[in-house]
Amino acid sequence: MNRALTVNLWDTLIYDVPEVDDARRDLRLAEIGKILQAAAGFDYQKSWEQMRAAYATSWQWLEKTWQTGQEIVPSEQLRLYLNLLFENKIPKNLPETDLLTAYLEPILVHSPFPVPGSREVLSELKQRGWKLGLISNTGRTSGVYLRRLLQKHGVFELFDTFSFSDEFGRRKPDLVIFEKTLAALGIIPERSFHLGDSWEADITGAQRAGLTPLWFCRNGEEALDPTVQKVKSWPELEILFQN
């Protein structure tokens, strides 16, 4: 009988560093600013600190909303940002498609890095007949662009199904996002594992759905529940499954 492994994205399959995240933010704001300048005469260079302040405030609001389990899709995130920037007086006739592209595309320019060993271990599991699924809360990006990022890193084709929160409408640890992923894989929870770094989103979510949770922890932190298997690296995961 086949087995399944579902995988978290951020800090499990890919990881970020502050300077790359900052570069992505600055590119996002600069491209949005150029569009606003052309369409509405907005001097984004003089208003740079104002743009960054609105961005930081929008992040705080998004985090509070995400904590409720609700997802905010990128177009709504962009609308929130513009409302903060223009104090609820957004100029009319802005090119929304161009603005949304400017908001999303920096993930492909200043990209997070693949976690070492991930592609090799996933490829090995795939060859051994495992069904593989990705379950990701998308943050300031989208499933469409994250698929392109996974293609860039050479792992897209290894997965059998994808569950992105902006497409699903709910975020981990929502029970249904795990259930629908397993349904797409055709594997029962008792034959399935979920690998992720967030205790609430990944471990608690997987446990509620009946999957065996695997806590991906590269920094040596102790597990909140000692009965949950801790995995420090992808090669360690491969050894665990071999045994």
28 and 119 part of one domain? no
pLDDT of residue 115: 98
> 37 and 136 share a domain?
no
Which residue type occupies 230? K
Q: In this predicted structure, what is the pLDDT of residue 218?
A: 84
According to the model, what pLDDT value does residue 1 have? Answer: 57
Which structure tokens are listed for 209? 């759905």
Domain harbouring 145, CATH code: 3.40.50.1000
Structure confidence at residue 225 (pLDDT): 87
Q: 161 and 96, same structural domain? A: no
Averaged over successive runs of 10 residues, the pLDDT of the chain (243 residues) comes to: 93 97 98 97 94 97 93 97 96 96 98 98 97 97 98 98 95 95 97 97 97 92 87 96 85
How far, in Å, CA of 212 to CA of 208, rounded?
A: 10
Asked if residue 193 and residue 127 are part of one domain, the reply reads yes
Q: Do 45 and 117 fall within a single domain?
A: no
Which among 42, 207, 234, 23 has a CA at the least distance from the CA of 108? 23
Q: Do 96 and 133 fall within a single domain?
A: no
What three-state secondary structure class fits 92?
coil
Q: Which of 56, 91, 109 is the last residue of a domain?
A: 109
What is the pTM assigned to this prediction? 0.94
Residues 95 and 167 in one domain: no
Q: Are 172 and 92 within one domain?
A: no
Check whether residue 59 and residue 80 sit in a common domain. yes
Cα angle at 100 between 8 and 49, to 5 degrees?
A: 95
* 191 shares its domain with 132: yes
- The token pair at 184 is 């797409």
Same domain, 76 and 131: no
For residue 122, the Cα-to-chain-centroid distance in whole angstroms is: 18
Domain limit, last residue, from 74, 109, 144? 109
* pLDDT score of 222: 79
103 shares its domain with 117: no
pLDDT at 223: 77
Distance of CA 140 to the CA centre of its chain: 8
Query: Which residue, of 81, 109, 137, is where some domain finishes?
Result: 109
**Host H or E run for residue 135:** strand 131-136
- Give me the domain span that covers residue 74: 18-109
Residue with tokens 């640890």: 173
Q: How many domains does the chain have?
A: 2
CB 141 within 8 A of CB 104: yes
